């Protein structure tokens, strides 16, 4: 079967405008959750909660979701949360991926470079049950085995909304 | 349908004394290197396989093999692209490449791994060496007056995957760049050994999260060839649609990154909004934002069947994608500050691209006509879906960005047409014999598909019980990473993020 690629052959089906389709999922929810998050961040961290991300061997889906947190849909910086370049500026160390042997020392170095008080949280199923890569020879096991982990964000990968929700839960407990 | 990816295999291994001569002959025919890897035969001998891309006007992959027990002749003098594959074989099997110019450990770091343990050997007893320092990694050194080094990574500033880059500079220009990767080495090839074909699919779809559909397709190409499964026509349509949606969102994101690193934030954010729209569309269509587990052995998962609602949603997003990409293209081509920044920067010339056997966008931007969808057609490509060859001669960042935009438009076109011609919804998504239980068969096959980054290559060999005996995956990023070392030479260090993002190679797929 051959399909000649001309515009005439495209059957017109009534389409939904993209904006409406894209924004339906929890956009309002994020605004409420984010507002609450901002309140707790304002109170406890003096309006700024700085997060340092270290990828310890993920499939890069987690990183993509985290970088989308800065995109206009979520814009996490309006709630006072920023992903920083240096561990020296960070309050929270966020670890994704399944902690490979080769990344073990770099993760420790980052943890040791952070000033006290500091928190460690992990994200993604690689840091949880790790059903896919757990048995491998080059995996050191979840970060909780080596570092004091305060919270784990579930999901493969956790969606941006879920990350904001989890950060809110974390700051509420402090 | 086209017979996809047939292999022209010489059968018996050739003598190792004839190897260099044969490879020189193959290179003379103008083919490029697809990959080199070893297989443990279990009796103390190893088979080293060489795969080469097809010649012009043919879709047949060329293959050679030799037998080795302790060492093997390096072909990197003839094909420089072979260097990194031969280092990998030394790490994983302990076979020594003779006359290799740059022999260093690759995936297993001397900082934490005993170099005498080779995990892919069948006689490895799975005792993991103690975590301690066994040696130093020898970095390349540049000497001279005023030469200094800038080490970057493995932990970068920002939300990026880990990798180490070491620049040797003299003043502004970069004299030399050494890339050291494999920080994220997860040992996926060993992990898949002994697993059934459908178990390994779950691992394979998580090799590189943003190319999940493309990589899974290559795996399925190979495994379905071994098992002799015929895919239903509707499933083929859906597979191609999902793969093209993935290509579209990858390109949209990468164009956004180019804007971001140029300091053109408003346009970048417009692209990221579009990226999020497409990811939400993925969730709606394939029930996962990154299409994990959307493709299954024999077809597609029932959750990723495309009904009338999904068709409407896809069309809506495609329409806005087309409009936004048109605006982005206008800015790139018509704004002098953009063209000034990315024209002539990060140039990889055609000769370098050929010698390094590049693939994907990097190859096409340097004037090489390489696209697996055209060269080695699979699924609907080549017949129902005609893809046009898009190449530029310049090899700079602008050329790569322009090819991205053209491909994104083409993907939109392909998806729209396939949606219009999607077969009746009553048809099967998975063949009946496959839905009841996965058939068992032994043999080997290769699979090769075009992911947004270039061609993903799988070699799978199954044993008598149908479980995987050897799985080899070669990521497009594995081929293309060395080219950045050449693209940045003579440039300034501030060009590096742009060169890097214009290719946007995967660390996870490279490190495996």
Counting beta carbons within 10 angstroms of the beta carbon of residue A162, is it exposed (0 to 12), middle (13 to 18) or buried (19 or more)? middle
The pLDDT-based confidence of B399 (bands split at 50, 70, 90) is very high
pLDDT bin (cut points 50, 70, 90) of residue B14 is confident
Mutate to test the interface with A, among B183, B193, B269, B271 (most CBs of A within 10 A): B183
**What ipTM describes this predicted complex?**
0.87
Q: Does the beta-carbon distance from A137 to B119 stay under 8 Å? A: yes
Closest CA to B7 of B457, B452, B353, B478: B457
B240 and B344 co-located in one domain: yes
Which CATH number covers residue B275? 1.10.645.10
Q: Tens of pLDDT along B65-96?
A: 888 888 899 998 888 999 999 999 998 998 99
CB atoms B210 and A110 under 8 Å: no
Using the predicted structure, report yes or no on whether residue A1 has a pLDDT greater than 50: no
Location of structure tokens 């103390």: B44
Task: With a cut of 70, say whether residue A18 has pLDDT above it.
Answer: no
How far apart are alpha carbons B228 and B433 in whole angstroms?
Answer: 11
Q: Smallest Cβ distance to B112: which of A61, A70, A102?
A: A102
**Is a pLDDT exceeding 80 seen at residue B298?**
yes
Residues B308, B442 within the same domain: yes
Cross-chain residue pair B417–A73, CB shorter than 8 Å: no
What confidence score (pLDDT) does residue A28 get?
56
Residues B219, B118 share a domain: no
Is the model's pLDDT at A15 over the cut of 80? Answer: no
Domain CATH number, residue B106: 3.30.460.80
Spatial separation of the C-alpha atoms in residues B482 and B489, rounded to whole Å: 12
Residue A46 pLDDT class (50, 70, 90 cuts) = confident
> CB A9 to CB B420 under 8 A?
yes
B473 in any annotated domain: yes
> ∠B496-B502-B506 over CA atoms, to 5°?
90
- DSSP secondary structure string, B5-52? S-EEE-SSPPPGGGHHHHHHHHHHTT--EEEEEEEE-SSS-EEEEEEE
Cβ A16–B157 below 8 Å, yes or no? no
Count contacts between A and B (CB, < 8 Å): 189
Length of chain A: 174
Test B313 with A19 for CB contact under 8 angstroms. Answer: no
Whether chain B has a CB inside 8 Å of the CB on A125: the answer is: no
pLDDT (tens digit, 9 = 90+) per residue, A81-100? 889 988 999 888 999 988 89
Residue B128, in any domain of the structure = yes
Query: Is residue A5 predicted with pLDDT exceeding 70?
Result: no
Compute the nearest-CA separation of B48 from chain A (Å). Answer: 23
Show which of B105, B133, B161 is a domain's final residue. B133
Partner-chain contact A63 B160, CB within 8 Å: yes
Q: What residues of chain A, 72 to 91, have a C-beta less than 8 Å from chain B?
A: 72-73, 83, 85-87
Mean pLDDT of B174-190: 90
Same domain, B127 and B220: no
Residue B202: which of A22, A64, A132 has the nearest Cβ?
Answer: A132
Residue A9: predicted pLDDT: 32
Residue B331 shares a structural domain with residue B466: yes
Task: Tell me the pLDDT band of B435, cut-offs 50, 70 and 90.
Answer: low
B498 is a domain residue: no
The answer to whether the CB of B242 falls within 8 A of the CB of B414 is no
Nearest Cα to Cα of residue B79 among B46, B56, B107, B53: B53
The C-alpha atoms of residue B166 and residue B141 are separated, in whole angstroms, by: 10
Q: Which band of pLDDT confidence, cut at 50, 70 and 90, is reported for residue A52?
A: very high
pLDDT in tens, B21-38: 888 888 888 788 888 999
Diameter of chain A measured on Cα atoms: 66
CB within 8 Å: B203 and A132: yes
Distance between B234 CA and the closest CA of chain A, angstroms: 13
Query: What is the model's pLDDT at position B466?
Result: 82
What is the separation, in whole angstroms, between the first and last Cα of chain B? 33
∠B409-B415-B421 over CA atoms, to 5°?
140
Mutate to test the interface with A, among B154, B211, B232, B287 (most CBs of A within 10 A): B154
A128 touches chain B (CB under 8 A): no
Of all residues in chain A, the percent with pLDDT exceeding 90 is 7
- Measure the CA–CA gap between A72 and A68, rounded to whole angstroms: 8
Sign for the pseudo-dihedral over CA of A132, B215, B300, B437: negative
Q: What is the pLDDT of residue B318?
A: 92
Tell me, yes or no, if A145 comes closer than 8 A to chain B by beta carbon.
no
Say which of A2, A73, A156 has its CB closest to residue B383.
A2
Which residue, chain included where needed, has tokens 């000497």? B143
Query: pLDDT tens, B199-214?
Result: 889 899 899 989 999 9
| Cβ within 8 Å, pair B320-A13 | no
Average pLDDT over residues A10-39: 52
Within this chain, do residues B290 and B434 fall inside the same structural domain, yes or no? yes
Q: Are the beta carbons of A163 and A61 closer than 8 angstroms?
A: no
Residue B329 CA to residue B259 CA, distance in Å, equals 11
Cα B202 from Cα B295, distance rounded (Å)? 10
Distance from CA of B318 to the nearest CA of A (A): 8
Structure tokens at B196: 């059934």
Q: Is the pLDDT of residue B414 over 80?
A: yes
pLDDT band at B474; cut points 50, 70, 90: very high
Supply the pLDDT for residue A20: 38
**CA distance linking residue B508 with residue B512, whole number of Å:** 6
- Residue-level pLDDT at B7: 67
Q: Which domain holds residue B46?
A: 7-133
Q: Is B286 exposed, middle or buried (0-12, 13-18, 19+ CB in 10 A)?
A: buried
Average pLDDT over residues A3-23: 35
B219-277 residue pLDDT tens: 998 988 888 888 888 888 999 999 999 999 999 999 999 998 888 888 899 999 999 98
d(CA A108, CA A126): 18
Residue B372 forms part of a structural domain: yes
Phi, psi of B380, deg, nearest 5:
-95, -10
Cα B394 off chain centre by: 22
Question: Which residues in chain A have their CB less than 8 angstroms from residue B128's CB?
Answer: 137
The total of other beta-carbon atoms located within 10 Å of residue A127's CB is: 26
Q: A54 CB near a chain B CB, below 8 Å?
A: yes
Residue B418 in domain? yes
* Higher per-residue confidence, B53 vs B427: B53
The answer to whether A59 contacts B384, with C-beta atoms less than 8 Å apart, is: no
In a domain, B85, yes or no: yes
CB–CB contact B185 A110 (8 Å): no
Report whether pLDDT(B489) > 80: yes
A53–chain B Cβ distance below 8 A for any pair? yes
Nearest to B155 among A83, A110, A132 (CB): A110
pLDDT given at position B253: 93
Q: Which residues contact B60 (CB under 8 A, 6 or more apart)?
A: B6, B7, B8, B54
**Range with lowest mean pLDDT among B317-326, B422-431, B483-492:** B422-431
Residues 6+ apart with CB under 8 A from B489: B174, B175, B176, B177
From chain B, the residues in CB contact with A85 under 8 A are 157-158
- Show contacts of B48-54: CB within 8 Å, 24+ apart: B48/B72, B48/B89, B48/B95, B49/B459, B50/B23, B50/B75, B51/B7, B51/B446, B51/B457, B51/B459, B52/B26, B53/B357, B53/B370, B53/B375, B53/B376, B54/B375, B54/B376
Per DSSP, chain A holds a count of helices (H) and strands (E) of: 5, 5
What are the tokens at B27?
A: 């290179």
* Residue B138 burial (C-beta neighbours within 10 Å; 0-12, 13-18, 19+): exposed
How many C-beta neighbours within 10 Å does residue A150 have? 16
CB contact under 8 A, A105 and B308: no
A113 lies within 8 A of chain B by CB: no
Q: Which residues of A touch B190 (CB under 8 A)?
A: 136-137
Cross-chain residue pair A101–B113, CB shorter than 8 Å: yes
- Residue B215: which of B32, B7, B473, B3 has the closest Cα? B473
Whether the per-residue pLDDT at A14 is higher than 70: the answer is: no
Enumerate the domain spans of chain A: 45-173
Q: Which residues of A touch B411 (CB under 8 A)?
A: none
Decide if A61 and B160 are in contact by the 8 Å CB cutoff: no
Confidence of residue B436 (pLDDT cuts 50, 70, 90): low
pLDDT for residue B339 is more than 90: no
- DSSP codes, B214-273: HHHHHHHHHHHHHHTPPPPHHHHHHHHHHHHHHHHHHHHHHHHHHHHHHT-HHHHHHHHH
Q: What is the pLDDT of residue A72?
A: 87
Question: What is the secondary structure of B260-274 as a DSSP string?
Answer: HHHT-HHHHHHHHHH
Residue of B109, B276, B292 with shortest CB distance to A22 = B276
C-alpha–C-alpha distance, residues B169 and B177, integer Å: 9
pTM of the model: 0.89
For residue B186, the chain A residues in CB contact (below 8 A) are 57, 98, 100, 133, 136, 138-139
Q: Which CATH number fits domain A45-173: 3.40.30.10, 3.40.50.300, 3.40.50.620, 3.40.50.12280?
A: 3.40.50.12280
Average pLDDT over residues A138-149: 84
Search chain A and give the residue with CA nearest B382. A2
Indicate if B96 and B217 belong to the same structural domain: no
Of B430 and B494, the one with more pLDDT: B494
Whether A13 has a pLDDT exceeding 90, the answer reads: no
Backbone angles phi, psi at B317, to 5 degrees: -65, -40
B54 near B7, Cβ under 8 Å?
A: no
Question: Tens digits of per-residue pLDDT, B102-113?
Answer: 888 888 888 888
Structure tokens at B91: 């790490």
Strands (E), A42-91: 49-55, 81-83
Contacts of B41 (CB under 8 A, 6+ apart): B47
Nearest chain A Cα distance for residue B271, angstroms = 9
Assess whether B437 and B326 both reside in one domain: yes
Whether B160 is covered by a domain: the verdict is no
Q: Where would I find the H helices in B397-447? A: 397-420, 432-436
Q: Give the pLDDT score at B197.
A: 87
Q: How many domains does chain B have?
A: 2
Q: Nearest to residue B311, comparing CAs of A16, A22, A25, A3?
A: A16
Q: How far is CA B290 from CA B256, B326, B414, in A?
A: 18, 25, 20
> A110 in contact with B at a CB cutoff of 8 Å?
yes
Look at A83 and B203 and tell me if their CB atoms are within 8 Å.
Answer: no
A132 has a chain B CB within 8 A of its CB: yes
Mean predicted confidence (pLDDT) in A20-34: 56
Residues linked to residue A92 through DSSP beta bridges, in sequence order: A51, A119
Q: Does A63 touch chain B if contact means CB atoms closer than 8 Å?
A: yes
Taking CB atoms and an 8 Å limit, are B313 and A16 in contact across chains? yes
Q: Which of B460, B435, B464 is nearest to B447 (CA)?
A: B460
Write down the pLDDT at residue A116: 79
């Amino acid at each position: 079967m051959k399909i000649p690629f001309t515009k005439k052959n495209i059957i017109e089906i009534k389409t939904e405008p993209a904006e409406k389709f894209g924004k339906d999922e929890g956009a309002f929810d994020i605004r409420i959750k984010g507002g609450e998050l901002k309140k707790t961040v304002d109170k406890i961290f003096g309006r700024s909660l700085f997060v340092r991300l270290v990828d310890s061997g993920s499939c890069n889906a987690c990183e993509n979701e985290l970088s989308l947190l800065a995109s206009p849909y979520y814009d996490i910086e309006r709630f006072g949360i920023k992903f920083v370049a240096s561990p020296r500026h960070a309050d929270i160390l966020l670890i994704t991926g399944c902690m490979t042997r080769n990344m073990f020392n770099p993760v420790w170095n980052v943890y040791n470079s952070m000033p006290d008080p500091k928190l460690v949280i992990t994200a993604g199923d690689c840091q949880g049950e790790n059903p896919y890569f757990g048995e491998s020879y080059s995996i050191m096991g979840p970060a909780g085995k080596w570092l004091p982990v305060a919270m784990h964000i579930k999901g493969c990968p956790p969606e941006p909304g879920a990350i904001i929700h989890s950060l809110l839960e974390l700051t509420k407990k402090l | 349908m086209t017979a996809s990816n047939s292999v022209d295999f010489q059968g018996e291994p050739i003598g190792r004394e004839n190897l260099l001569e044969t490879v020189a002959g193959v290179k003379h025919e103008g083919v490029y290197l697809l990959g080199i890897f070893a297989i443990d035969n279990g009796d103390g001998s190893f088979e080293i396989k060489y795969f080469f891309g097809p010649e012009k006007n043919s879709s047949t992959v060329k293959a050679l093999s030799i037998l080795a027990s302790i060492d093997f002749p390096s072909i990197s003098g003839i094909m420089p692209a072979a260097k990194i594959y031969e280092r990998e074989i030394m790490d994983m099997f302990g076979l020594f490449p003779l006359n290799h110019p740059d022999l260093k450990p690759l995936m297993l770091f001397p900082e934490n791994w005993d170099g005498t343990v080779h995990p892919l050997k069948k006689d490895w007893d799975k005792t993991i060496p103690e975590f301690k320092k066994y040696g130093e990694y020898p970095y390349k050194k540049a000497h001279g007056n005023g030469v200094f080094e800038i080490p970057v990574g493995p932990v970068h500033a920002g939300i990026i995957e880990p990798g180490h880059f070491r620049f040797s500079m003299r003043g502004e220009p970069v004299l030399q760049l050494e890339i050291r990767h494999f920080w994220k080495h997860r040992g996926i090839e060993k992990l898949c050994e002994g697993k059934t074909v459908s178990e390994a699919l779950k691992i394979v779809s998580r090799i590189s999260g943003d190319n999940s559909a493309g990589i899974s397709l290559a795996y399925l190409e190979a495994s379905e060839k071994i098992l002799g499964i015929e895919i239903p026509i509707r499933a083929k349509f859906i597979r191609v649609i999902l793969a093209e949606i993935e290509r579209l969102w990858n390109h949209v994101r990468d164009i956004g990154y180019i804007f971001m690193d140029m300091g053109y934030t408003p346009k970048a954010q417009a692209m990221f909004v579009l990226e999020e729209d497409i990811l939400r569309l993925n969730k709606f269509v394939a029930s996962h934002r990154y299409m994990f587990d959307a493709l299954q052995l024999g077809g597609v998962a029932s959750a990723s069947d495309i009904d009338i609602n999904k068709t409407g949603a896809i069309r809506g997003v495609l329409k806005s994608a087309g409009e936004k990409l048109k605006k982005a293209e206008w800015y790139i081509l018509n704004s002098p500050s953009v063209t000034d920044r990315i024209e002539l920067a990060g140039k990889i010339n055609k000769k370098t691209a050929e010698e390094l056997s590049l693939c994907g966008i990097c190859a096409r931007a340097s004037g090489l006509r390489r696209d697996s969808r055209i060269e080695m057609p699979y699924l609907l490509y080549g017949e129902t879906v005609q893809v046009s060859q898009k190449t530029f001669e310049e090899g700079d960042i602008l050329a790569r960005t322009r090819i991205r935009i053209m491909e994104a438009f083409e993907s939109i076109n392909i998806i729209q047409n396939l949606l219009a011609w999607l077969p009746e919804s009553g048809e099967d998504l998975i063949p009946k014999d496959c839905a009841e239980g996965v058939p068992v068969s032994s043999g080997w096959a290769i699979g090769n598909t075009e992911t947004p980054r270039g061609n993903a290559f799988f070699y799978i060999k199954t044993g008598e019980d149908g479980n995987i005996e050897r799985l080899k995956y070669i990521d497009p990023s594995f081929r293309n990473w060395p080219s950045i070392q050449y693209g940045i030479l003579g440039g300034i260090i501030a060009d590096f993020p742009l060169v890097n993002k214009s290719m946007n190679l995967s660390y996870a797929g490279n490190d495996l």
